[in-house]
Amino acid sequence: GGEPGSNLNKTNDIAAGQTQANESCTSAAAADDGTFGDDEDENDTISTDDNSRVSEHEWPECWSQAQVRYFSRNYKWLISRNQKLGCSVCSQVCARVDMQQGQRVSQEWSGCLISSFGRDKAAQQNSPRKKIKEHRDSIYHKKAVEIKEKATQNTMQKHTEDMRKADYASTCNVFRTAYKIGKHGRPFTDMPIDVQLQVLNGVKMGRVLHSNNSCANILDHIAAEMKKKVVNDIVMNERKLCVLIDESTTISGKSVLVVCLRSAISSENPDTIFFELIELQGPTAKDITEALLGCLHNNGFDPHYLQEHLLAFACDGASVMLGRKAGVAAQLCSKFPYLFVWHCSNHRLELAVCDVLKEVGGINHFKIFLDQLYSLYHASPKNQRELTESAHNVGQRLLVIGRVLSVRWVASSERTVKAVWENYQALQVHFTSRAKYKGLNDVLTTVSFVVNLGIMYDALTELSDLSRMLQRRDMTLDQADRQLDRQIRVLESMVSTPGPYTQTAIEAEKEKIFRNVCLHENQRVIKINHGQSFRSLAENTDSHLLSDIKVLQSDSWPASLDIQYGDAAVRRLCQRFRVGERESVLGFREYKDLKASKTPAALKPLLTAVHTIAVSTSECERAFSSMNDTLTDKRNSLDIKRLSNMIFLKCNGPPLDQFNAQTYVQTWLALGRRSAASTNCEAQSERKVEPKTCWSLF
């Protein structure tokens, strides 16, 4: 009969086919002892389903077709193989499960080894009847039936879950401890100490999973499960997707690519999250494109889904990203024809400032002087200490002087100009105390420099506020368009009406004194043209956004609104974003009738698609900041995959009090991993510390 387990599927199929026979036995004289009427026509045929694999040659050769129908109908557990009888229930239970008091199922019945005997056909027909009845009434068969019924109720699985519930509590405590370490960027070596602390506080922590390696594995598992949930939510709900990327270098010198996603994850409002950090094999656009597509495909975004739902691609203005012929955007557009490419608004704002720097005379000289101040105090702790003392003497709070108008965003330049403005008197005192700073002091105390400082302070204050608003995670494309339009109007107004800091500087120019420091004229210091600088900023700070999006803004609608106003623009947007065209047009018309007081449901898919486009790649910059905080010079041995998981938890993970450890413990145990209460392995030995004699005093 072979191994019972190997024949389990086959015997089940045979039994299923037998129980599907619907013919009724024509004999009314059949009894429970297996007797069978002789008036049955042996030429009757067996009626079975088309899918049944039961063959009349499988049953004993001495049985008629009517007998086969009778026994297979009344004894549904009866099976046959190679013209020998067996029991499907005993075959399933087999010898794998101990019966009570060490008894086991019948090997003959479980292996289909019951055969008929006798000199003639009548005797051969009668011989299996008694065996079938005795097996049906045996305690072995009844016990096997009971085990099978319990198995259908998932009793074993429930029992296993009940056993594991005791392990859940301690394992969840360990997972929360590990999550705290990952969420706050602590080293994995904190795990044993944190566990020891909680054990001393009376918390049950089990006996294993307390090492730094276990902490790293637990964090990898949590990050992987969280990433699966994000992908499943996007794919299962068929949400539109925007991909943001940026390239940088780690402290270890590895070239990496940050991938962020923007989508309406678990809500109607799109959000931007960090997704993965990828190590690049090369700096070319082809390497970046292959790495990006490989990342998306490996994490569950199949090519068909991306063709239908990949909406936009956002990046900075580097030539490798936006090159017209062979850039990353060009290569992606060749694969996804409807892809919308967006240049980060914050980087675009930086380019506008750089254009103003080239057009307006005097700004470059101002930048050079502030860079000298940065080098003076950044490179020398001694100079920084002396400046601190000077600030203390004049009662000022020292602000750190950084770079101005560099590759960093304008908010950092605004902080630098603010530091010079606030520390002006302290700088003058420090320069006066040292003869070698006479040249810097002459420039600092000129009227032209103070006026330039006020003009740049006003301009950078306005631009930095705009930059911070564009960096918000909830900033949408239409909101950014409004912000840019408003800021352009402000800059145009400041051409004729100076800002507050410029007015203060003009008053200081008249009085020849600023912050208790006497000023003087110096023709070598070029004064910035106030009107030209703000006019140039207004011209270069152009929104360059989609003109069709403006029709969705109620404040841009004309006074006399035609019923078909904006319908053509909405149709173009629907074709571009692959949204239902007719429904969106009808929803837009209703939106106009409601005076934008309420958003119709038919228009929401189009608005969600528009809001899915990322305005800025600031989330990539936040990921780089998190990477630099995590991968320090003391933790530079972290591989990129684990570093990516750490950043994912740090950027996207919920607070510790909202972390549901049970979900991740269940998936951890389902993979066959040890629980914290496992006894199948050696517990971690405590680290021996050499005692000190003074401990007895403490």
- Residue by residue, DSSP assigns 414-475 as HHHHHHHHHTHHHHHHHHHH-GGGHHHHHHHTBHHHHHHHHHHHHHHHHHHHHHHHHT-TT-
pLDDT at 543: 56
Residues 416 and 495 in one domain: yes
What is the structure's pLDDT at 632? 81
- Domain membership of residue 429 (yes or no) is yes
Q: Are residues 501 and 435 in the same domain?
A: yes
Q: Specify whether 137 is located in the same domain as 193.
A: no
State whether 361 and 462 are in the same domain.
Answer: yes
| 52 and 110 assigned to the same domain | yes
Q: What is the pLDDT of residues 71-84, one digit of tens each?
A: 878 888 888 888 78
Q: Of 404, 400, 407, which is closest to residue 370 (Cα–Cα)?
A: 404
Higher pLDDT, 292 or 70: 292
Give the model's confidence band at 678: pLDDT under 50 very low, under 70 low, under 90 confident, else very high: confident
Question: Would the pLDDT of 3 be above 50?
Answer: no
Q: Give me the mean pLDDT over the 329-350 stretch.
A: 90
List Cβ neighbours of 531 (8 Å cut-off, separation of 6 or more): 495, 496
Report yes or no on 251 lying in a domain: yes
Do 406 and 445 fall into the same domain? yes
- Averaged pLDDT, 250-258: 83
Q: How confident is the model at residue 18 (pLDDT cuts 50, 70, 90)?
A: very low
Domain with 514, as residue range(s), is 348-540
Q: Taking 60 as the threshold, does the pLDDT of residue 8 lie above it?
A: no
pLDDT in tens, 122-157: 777 777 887 888 888 888 788 888 877 776 666 556
The pair of structure tokens assigned to 631 is 């991968």
Do 130 and 99 lie in one domain? The reply is: yes
Report residue 47's pLDDT band, with 50, 70 and 90 as the boundaries: very low
Amino acid letter, residue 286: K
Per residue in 406-424, pLDDT (tens digit) is: 656 677 788 888 888 888 8
pTM here is: 0.70
The tens digit of pLDDT for each residue in 371-390 reads: 888 788 777 788 888 777 77
Are residue 583 and residue 499 in the same domain, yes or no? no
- The Cα-based distances of 30 to 73, 74, 77, 585 in angstroms read 12, 10, 18, 75
| 626 within some domain | no
Task: Say if 223 falls within a structural domain.
Answer: yes
Does residue 394 carry a pLDDT above 70?
A: no
User: Looking at residue 159, what is its pLDDT?
Assistant: 59
Residue 158 lies in a domain: no
Would you say 364 and 456 are in contact if contact means Cβ atoms under 8 Å apart?
no
Asked if 43 and 88 sit in the same domain, the reply is yes
Residue 563, in any domain of the structure: yes
Q: What is the dihedral of CA 222, 228, 233, 234, to 10 degrees?
A: 130
Q: In the listed set 477, 510, 540, which residue is the last one of a domain according to the structure?
A: 540
CA angle, 373 as apex, 370 and 376 as ends, to 5°? 155
Domain C-terminal end among 590, 612, 634: 612
Q: Which two tokens stand for residue 175?
A: 């997972």
Q: What is the pLDDT of residues 587-631, one digit of tens each?
A: 999 998 888 888 899 999 999 999 999 999 999 989 988 888 888
Our count of domains for the chain comes to 4
Quote the CA–CA distance of 280 and 295 in Å, as a whole number: 11
What is the pLDDT averaged over residues 458-465? 90
pLDDT of residue 647: 93
Predicted local confidence at residue 602, as pLDDT: 92
pLDDT at 16: 38
Tokens of 161: 């879950």
Mean pLDDT of the chain: 81
- Quick one: pLDDT at residue 98? 46
Show the beta-strand stretches assigned E in 497-598: 513-514, 517-518
60/134 same-domain check: yes
Domain boundary among 488, 509, 540: 540
Q: Looking at the predicted structure, is the pLDDT value of residue 444 above 80?
A: yes
Do 169 and 194 belong together in one domain?
yes
Residue % of the chain over a pLDDT of 90: 30
pLDDT band at 396 (very low <50, low <70, confident <90, very high): low
In a domain, 622, yes or no: no
Residues 172, 286 within the same domain: yes
Residue range 494-504: mean pLDDT, rounded:
91
**404 falls within a domain:** yes
- Sort 479 into a burial class: Cβ within 10 Å, 0-12 / 13-18 / 19+: middle
Neighbours of 336 (CB within 10 A): 16
20-34, 316-330, 517-531, 642-656 — most confident range: 642-656
